[in-house]
Structure 1
């Protein structure tokens, strides 16, 4: 009977105990349910069953106490008040300071007192002795009938069930085997924030990158400088906890755990004094520590690239290599985005202008600690370039646009070349907006690529420009300059330019025709007709002439490793060397020269930037054979010049050096017009001296120039923290010498030094140099200031 009662539901057991209590009372001739509080309370824990009041026997007064020969009927002490809600069970300290309350533990636990009753003395309320006393065994006469009923009763032995692999796998996920926690090393992020990460390098290889990314995004660190209350820190700590989990998953740790501790946590220890001190410190300076437990790093599993594997070779190999992700690689979310972009670019560069790449989908399998990646690709067919079709052929023809393009018909389509064409059209300055759209003109067939035409639509920009400038310089005096230009008067890209200068030392009028992208990209044809009256520190000349140039230029849009220039000029000039001081009684005769010649130059550019190089080199060679006729005599000579510069970065500082050498051979010094001789000095030469202020002088103080030149410059471009690094300080040293003969000599060598400032802009640095001559002559100023756009060299 005891075994049967132990298998019954709880409520059945309670009712059974209540019944036994009633039977016990009846066995003594007394019914007193209220005298058995233990049984009554167990039978009605939720006030569903209430103890009945004791009834006195008939004929007795109500106040007559009932006799109770058994100890179980003795009155029990009144129970403690029962809590009415869950909040009544929570101490106040656990709400106001949970960390300290939990760390303090139970100071004086109360012993459990068993009730003084018959049930308490017995081994079990339902022991065999108790049951035998109240429930006597059945009548022996009935035992044969009971045995007959169960004579043929038998139970088959149960067989074990077949194991279910899915349930076993589910059990392994639901109840993972926990290993030992790794040893952690703290990294302080701010005044209120500490990260504890695995100390072993191989436990979390991405630790440094993880910390840097968290610093950029942390909510707690963003407000680290302010005084924060405990609730504010706790709220921001919860946001940072979610952020840390997201970053862990970004690096492939999908089973990682973040343990957040506010103001000490488990580090306060179990000592109550330490816990109290930790609470005081937490209230004064709340802080947060995050324990980072990365767990296992996941890797890429299956990779599905859609139709990409069906493409022909070598495209499939090249594109698969461009994507770069293979099964078994670490599962980095950033890498998926990066390689998706690389794949899109590679498709466009391999002849697939209409390729489509779906959004990546990642399926995480925790059982395999892998992620299966799907990036479905539809190639859309392979194509080659066809014609370039202009939307406004009268303004910019399709033929001209084809010359601007860096591809020919039949070349495999490349997205970068399409983009380059768009940028080149904008660079003409004739349009305000451009749209280039590939259009299929022949579909791929029998393994042969199709063909696409490029439809170019654009909006015209204003083509007329009026510009002017007014200024003053210590060398040039006052100057007023004006310019008018029509940039497409002779389509395509044929410009007419009118230019005039009126100033203290210069007067100029010129008419020029310029055609950009002449018979090819970045090729410029220029023809100018001019008249001038110019006075410099060394030369006073007036004349007129014409000059024509055809050149392959390097520009910001496309810096070329090789550029060149060829041309010719014819001019008539009446000039003389200019004296710096008066020479009374000595006339300064003028001479007329008729000069004709050709010229050409070639430039090798291995620098990293056109306007502000920081590494690499540049080298230019210039040659100009000329013929000159003056006062009945004729001369032939060759003017040549070589420039070389070198740049090297050392940290945030750029060291730059330049060497220039020039010579004129084939004619005597006096037969060369003063304006064609060699001079040094100025902002692009030897700083500290005026323009053309370095070189030999005659007895009247005239700077005569020479037939040979040698210059050297060295400067350090030092970056400063001013304006986020936009300002540089540049100390420099220059030296230069001009010789009368065609072979350089150093009789008239001059040195200059100074310091400058560079302010970097999107169109190049603005330069301000202050220099002083080290070995000046009587004609040189003690300080010279230069202001210009771009570096000195």
Structure 2
């Protein structure tokens, strides 16, 4: 019994030692980043939620004073004074560190030595200048390390693969509060590209050279390797692309490049339902043959069955040897389209050549278009209603287009732009029922501001010259209204009217839009917009205005935009129009 009582008393005797006690750390006298540096630099910060005894606390507290001073030295403060205070707070402890940082050390000199040959290269010169610009600044070890490593990286990226940092020292004079940086590199030989060897390719020898953005004998550059990686990924032939410079076997000033590849799935089937306010509900099905043969030919087919649009299209692509990503493309599209103002059934044959041209994607080709159409017809109306205009066209015309886009993120662009310029013309009346010439331009600009906001400007313009406007099908006339035009109006519902008051489209187009988006989270935001513009003939330009609000959702399948727009200052149009767009920003 006596032994049992002793065992029962044991927890009471051990209670003071087993009780939870954490440490609350308070740092005053400095702000971030110095405050954060002190908090992270003292061991006490690790005991906020850990058990600690009084003896441990006192030992950690004594150490924290010197640790706090040391934490400030990387920021140039070598004469900091730290006073501390240790207080019990319930079962916890509170440690208060009063920090007086003092005057910082200033960089008074930079002694940088680099081979003159390397220093002439712009990227290396910029990195060198960044180090020299540290003179006169407060000594910051992190900035010094970053600038030093950036110059080492620039040397490697520009072919100096044997470059060595031979001197790296910072002399600090605490009494004078000054520091001198000493850095020296031996750049060594500048290497050139050798041969590119592809491993695991399913194509005939030499085909993949069209994606190589450099020639053997050019100076080595890492950005060229990145361009090669991006080009091969963008070709959509491979599931694995690894571009590896063979630096371990470099010799005679030359480094070869090895590219490891694994074929992607050869045939891809796609399909599923979709919705768009311009097209209505529908289903989409597609089949793509990523490569047809060892020459890299591609074949893509798509079927769309929607309420207002039915299409069947096929496209065959023949990549060509040489630079600039050249290819011949042959396509056919059957299109059955219904809008609020027109109906058309057309068959279009296309043959063109595409290539990269001075940073643009250039397309030059010929089009053959045949079909029937009705303009001025509203949904549900009979074909014999008064005022409708019926037509049939056979058109043959060359077309050239230039397109370019630039963005910091393909999924969610914070800063970027896109521009598409197109010109098409018949050759008199050669193989055509009508002669016409037409130019169009479509642009978009996105910029971010104040953190979670985007400002978006969009514009479209076009002009047509023809003596046979009545023979042009709807897709070669200009209309306004819809998701990517003037919101608040339905798709292609506004434009010039005939004598019966029916919209028949115009020869010219001018539309602009401004939009502001604010994001509450990384995925969700709202938008406010104002769109204005119209199609017109001659100089009779009467812009329509639409405005509204929308919701933005960065979903797993891409950006989803849902807008509610309404006409502004239009006594003939009222109500709210729903607009839904799914797809990339540019």
TM-score clears 0.5:
yes
In 2, are the aligned partners of 1:526 and 1:549 still within 8 Å (CA)? yes
Matches within 5 A, 1:332-731: 332-357=140-165, 379=187, 381-392=189-200, 394-395=202-203, 397=205, 399-431=206-238, 432-438=240-246, 443-444=251-252, 450-473=253-276, 475-515=278-318, 519-521=322-324, 523=326, 525-552=328-355, 562-577=360-375, 578-582=377-381, 586=385, 590-603=390-403, 619-626=419-426, 634-646=433-445, 650-652=449-451, 653-697=453-497, 702-718=502-518, 720=519, 722-723=520-521, 725-731=522-528
CA distance in 2, matches of 1:472, 1:312: 57
Q: After TM superposition, give the deviation of residue 620 of structure 1 in Å.
A: 4.2
Q: Deviation digits for residues 595-619 of structure 1, max 9, x if unmatched?
A: 1112223356687666755567655
Q: 1:380 to 1:760 in 2, by over 3 A?
A: farther
Please name the residue that 1:773 is paired with. Answer: 567
Residue from 512, 518, 531 that aligns with 1:734: 531
Q: After TM superposition, give the deviation of residue 351 of structure 1 in Å.
A: 2.2
Q: Deviation digits for residues 646-691 of structure 1, max 9, x if unmatched?
A: 5555534443333433222122432322332111111100101111
Please name the residue that 1:195 is paired with. Answer: 28
Q: 1:286 to 1:230 in 2, by over 3 A?
A: farther
Please name the residue that 1:745 is paired with. Answer: 541
Please name the residue that 2:18 is paired with. Answer: none
Residue from 250, 253, 256 that aligns with 2:74: 250
Q: 1:231 to 1:776 in 2, by over 3 A?
A: farther
Highest CA radius of gyration, 1 or 2? 1
Please name the residue that 1:759 is paired with. Answer: 553
CA distance in 2, matches of 1:242, 1:518: 67
In 2, are the aligned partners of 1:728 and 1:757 still within 8 Å (CA)? yes
Q: After TM superposition, give the deviation of residue 373 of structure 1 in Å.
A: 7.7
Q: After TM superposition, give the deviation of residue 717 of structure 1 in Å.
A: 2.2
In 1, are the aligned partners of 2:84 and 2:95 still within 8 Å (CA)? no
In 2, are the aligned partners of 1:727 and 1:758 still within 8 Å (CA)? yes
CA-based RMSD: 4.7
CA distance in 1, matches of 2:351, 2:40: 58
Q: 1:656 to 1:759 in 2, by over 3 A?
A: same
Between the two structures, name the one with larger relative contact order (CA 8 Å, sep ≥ 6): 2
In 2, are the aligned partners of 1:579 and 1:700 still within 8 Å (CA)? no
Q: 1:243 to 1:417 in 2, by over 3 A?
A: farther
SS of structure 1 residue aligned to 2:369: strand
Matches within 5 A, 1:217-256: 241=65, 243-253=67-77, 256=80
In 2, are the aligned partners of 1:479 and 1:504 still within 8 Å (CA)? yes
Q: 1:704 to 1:214 in 2, by over 3 A?
A: farther
Q: 1:788 to 1:496 in 2, by over 3 A?
A: same
Q: After TM superposition, give the deviation of residue 341 of structure 1 in Å.
A: 1.9
Please name the residue that 1:90 is paired with. Answer: none
Q: Deviation digits for residues 124-148 of structure 1, max 9, x if unmatched?
A: xxxxxxxxxxxxxxxxxxxxxxxxx
Q: Deviation digits for residues 134-182 of structure 1, max 9, x if unmatched?
A: xxxxxxxxxxxxxxxxxxxxxxxxxxxxxxxxxxxxxxxxxxxxxxxxx
Which consecutive residues of structure 2, in runs of 5 or more, have no partner in the other structure? 1-22
Q: After TM superposition, give the deviation of residue 636 of structure 1 in Å.
A: 0.9
Which consecutive residues of structure 1, in runs of 5 or more, have no partner in the other structure? 1-189, 198-206, 264-278, 445-449, 555-559
Q: After TM superposition, give the deviation of residue 213 of structure 1 in Å.
A: 3.9
Q: Deviation digits for residues 550-586 of structure 1, max 9, x if unmatched?
A: 33469xxxxx864433222112112222333535964
More strand by share: 2
More helix by share: 1
Please name the residue that 1:787 is paired with. Answer: 581
In 1, are the aligned partners of 2:131 and 2:148 still within 8 Å (CA)? no
In 2, are the aligned partners of 1:233 and 1:286 still within 8 Å (CA)? no
Q: 1:391 to 1:644 in 2, by over 3 A?
A: closer
Q: Deviation digits for residues 176-209 of structure 1, max 9, x if unmatched?
A: xxxxxxxxxxxxxx99624236xxxxxxxxx754
Q: 1:218 to 1:402 in 2, by over 3 A?
A: farther
Q: Deviation digits for residues 384-409 of structure 1, max 9, x if unmatched?
A: 22332222465274x44443233233
CA distance in 1, matches of 2:263, 2:491: 43
Q: Deviation digits for residues 253-295 of structure 1, max 9, x if unmatched?
A: 45655332224xxxxxxxxxxxxxxx9x899994513334557
CA distance in 2, matches of 1:584, 1:311: 78
Please name the residue that 1:33 is paired with. Answer: none
CA distance in 2, matches of 1:582, 1:368: 91
Q: 1:389 to 1:358 in 2, by over 3 A?
A: farther
SS of structure 1 residue aligned to 2:424: strand
SS of structure 2 residue aligned to 1:488: coil
In 2, are the aligned partners of 1:717 and 1:729 still within 8 Å (CA)? yes
In 1, are the aligned partners of 2:200 and 2:263 still within 8 Å (CA)? no
CA distance in 2, matches of 1:393, 1:696: 56
CA distance in 1, matches of 2:478, 2:227: 42
* TM-score relative to the length of structure 2: 0.78
CA distance in 2, matches of 1:610, 1:561: 17
In 1, are the aligned partners of 2:391 and 2:471 still within 8 Å (CA)? no
* TM-score relative to the length of structure 1: 0.59
Please name the residue that 1:150 is paired with. Answer: none
Q: Deviation digits for residues 632-653 of structure 1, max 9, x if unmatched?
A: 9832111222345555555344
